[in-house]
Chain A
Amino acid sequence: MQQLVQLANLSTERSDPTQLLAPMIPTGVRLAKAMLHDAQAAEDAVQEASLIAWKKLSQGVWPEKPQAWFLGVVANECRNARRGKWNIAVRLGLGDEHHVAPADERVLRGSDLRRALARLPHADRLVVVLFYYLDLPLDEVATTAGISVAAARSRLYRSVRRLRPELAVEEALS
């Protein structure tokens, strides 16, 4: 019976993209906020991502793993948003604040940690946010980022070393 109910729900969702997308929006907002560190930019990114996702679903493109797929679209919009911001910064001639702490003071907290996250390349920042902030398991991180589990693990190692050089790898992935 439960299977039948699930099938019925799936059937309803497939006929209404909004119904499928709506429960995933809050997670998309959290991802965008973590990637962009700006509420307005996050809202814009999720808005655009939702539009693109809705369009794809209405065309009959139903992904096997909807949440991972939707978060991937959000991540792509976040990358576009950051590109725009970077372009504006270049045009205005704004310099990037650069702060390097001594090796024994590399425990970053709060705004320092956000700044360090922001300096990570998009692909690295994405796996960090998915794993440490959205608390997704490694296989879902890999699916969302569109890479293999081994590649996701490798990116996490690399990113953690840049954020916390003193942290052991085992501890980092706990």
Chain B
Amino acid sequence: MSLRVDIHEAIDDVAADEQAIASRVVAAMTFTPAPVKSAKSTPRRWSSSLRGIGSLAAALLVVALIGAVVVGGRAWRHSTSPETRPQQTLVKQLEARQLNLAVIGAEAPCPVTSHLGSPDVTLAGSAWSDDAGRYWDMAAVTASSGTGPVLIRGVDLRTGNAMFFVGSWAYGPVVGTDVWDGAAVTYHSELLLDPSHPTRESVGQGLSRWTFTAGTSPNGGPTWCFGLQMDGAGFSQTVVLAR
């Protein structure tokens, strides 16, 4: 048997519904319905792999504490340095911008946008839900050479409720708390993508990726019609998502 045939057989043995995967990827690109994940599945996947390794967890906790002190110290120095003050002024200006996300009626069709963002910020995500709300696990991609911060805010277009954000880039007032797979999380009213942030994730090709979760509160019955507004220096972009 030839090496080519052997390799085909060996890899085809890996169970994967390629057509279904491809369909989901294309769906995410066009924001058509994405598969609903189990509740808080992303955090659970991490923690379950570590469960039962008590000593390792303790060691990691010590490392995390040391890291927090170092990163916290740097962040404090960064936030109080003169060069970040203009940045803070710009963020205040972005926060002052009006939201251009009109609330629609309960029965009106969701005005889903055909684009994923703009050359400044591009979004993609998949939806999931639990008893407490509905959420999008999202990724935003920006040019690494971006010169200023991007502020993201969102609204449930059927209920008018503001969206909240969870993750490293969540910003602004705390509007709620929850426990995700045993870990406390805080909901913030805004998301701030700051290109000068030292821990942003570079994905090559001159791009940075920012992952986060956006959701709506259970009050008023959350729906699957969300609007997000992305504001940066010189641009303002809205995206409407549905599933």
| A residues lining the B interface (CB < 8 Å) | 18, 21-22, 25-26, 28-30, 33-34, 37-39, 42-43, 46-48, 50-52, 54-56, 58-59, 73, 76-77, 80, 88, 91-93, 108-111, 113-114, 117, 128-129, 132-133, 135, 160, 163-164, 167, 171-172, 174
Instruction: Please tell me if the beta carbons of A132 and B4 are within 8 angstroms of each other in the complex.
Output: yes
A113 to B9, CA, bound (A): 10
Note all chain A residues with C-beta closer than 8 A to B209: 48, 51
A25 to B25, CA, bound (A): 8
Least Cβ–Cβ distance between B136 and chain A, in angstroms: 14
Instruction: Please tell me if the beta carbons of B207 and A52 are within 8 angstroms of each other in the complex.
Output: yes
Size bracket, chain B contacts? 35 or more
Q: A47-B124, A73-B205, A92-B53 are in contact. Are A172 and B3 (CB under 8 A)?
A: yes
Instruction: Please tell me if the beta carbons of B119 and A39 are within 8 angstroms of each other in the complex.
Output: no
Least Cβ–Cβ distance between A29 and chain B, in angstroms: 5
Instruction: Please tell me if the beta carbons of A25 and B124 are within 8 angstroms of each other in the complex.
Output: no
Instruction: Please tell me if the beta carbons of A80 and B203 are within 8 angstroms of each other in the complex.
Output: yes
Least Cβ–Cβ distance between A92 and chain B, in angstroms: 7
Q: A47-B25, A47-B124, A117-B7 are in contact. Are A38 and B14 (CB under 8 A)?
A: yes
Least Cβ–Cβ distance between A46 and chain B, in angstroms: 5
| 9 nearest A-B pairs in the assembled complex, by CB-CB distance | A39-B16, A113-B10, A26-B22, A132-B7, A55-B122, A25-B22, A51-B124, A43-B21, A34-B11
Q: A51-B141, A54-B116, A132-B4 are in contact. Are A26 and B19 (CB under 8 A)?
A: yes
Least Cβ–Cβ distance between A172 and chain B, in angstroms: 6
The 0/1 profile, CB within 8 Å of A marked 1, for residues 29-43 of chain B is 110000000000000
A97 to B115, CA, bound (A): 46
Note all chain A residues with C-beta closer than 8 A to B118: 58
Instruction: Please tell me if the beta carbons of B11 and A133 are within 8 angstroms of each other in the complex.
Output: yes
A35 to B21, CA, bound (A): 15
Residue of B nearest to A135 (CB): B4
**Contact check: which of A37, A48, A160, A164 meets B11 at CB < 8 Å?**
A37
A32 to B6, CA, bound (A): 18
Note all chain A residues with C-beta closer than 8 A to B234: none
Instruction: Please tell me if the beta carbons of A59 and B119 are within 8 angstroms of each other in the complex.
Output: yes
Does B56 touch A at the CB level, under 8 Å? yes
**Contact check: which of B7, B16, B49, B143 meets A133 at CB < 8 Å?**
B7
Does B28 touch A at the CB level, under 8 Å? yes
Note all chain B residues with C-beta closer than 8 A to A34: 11
Note all chain B residues with C-beta closer than 8 A to A109: 6, 9-10
A33 to B15, CA, bound (A): 9
**Apart from A25-B22, A29-B22, A128-B7, what are 7 other A-B pairs with CB-CB below 8 Å?**
A28-B22, A43-B21, A51-B139, A80-B203, A93-B56, A111-B13, A160-B3
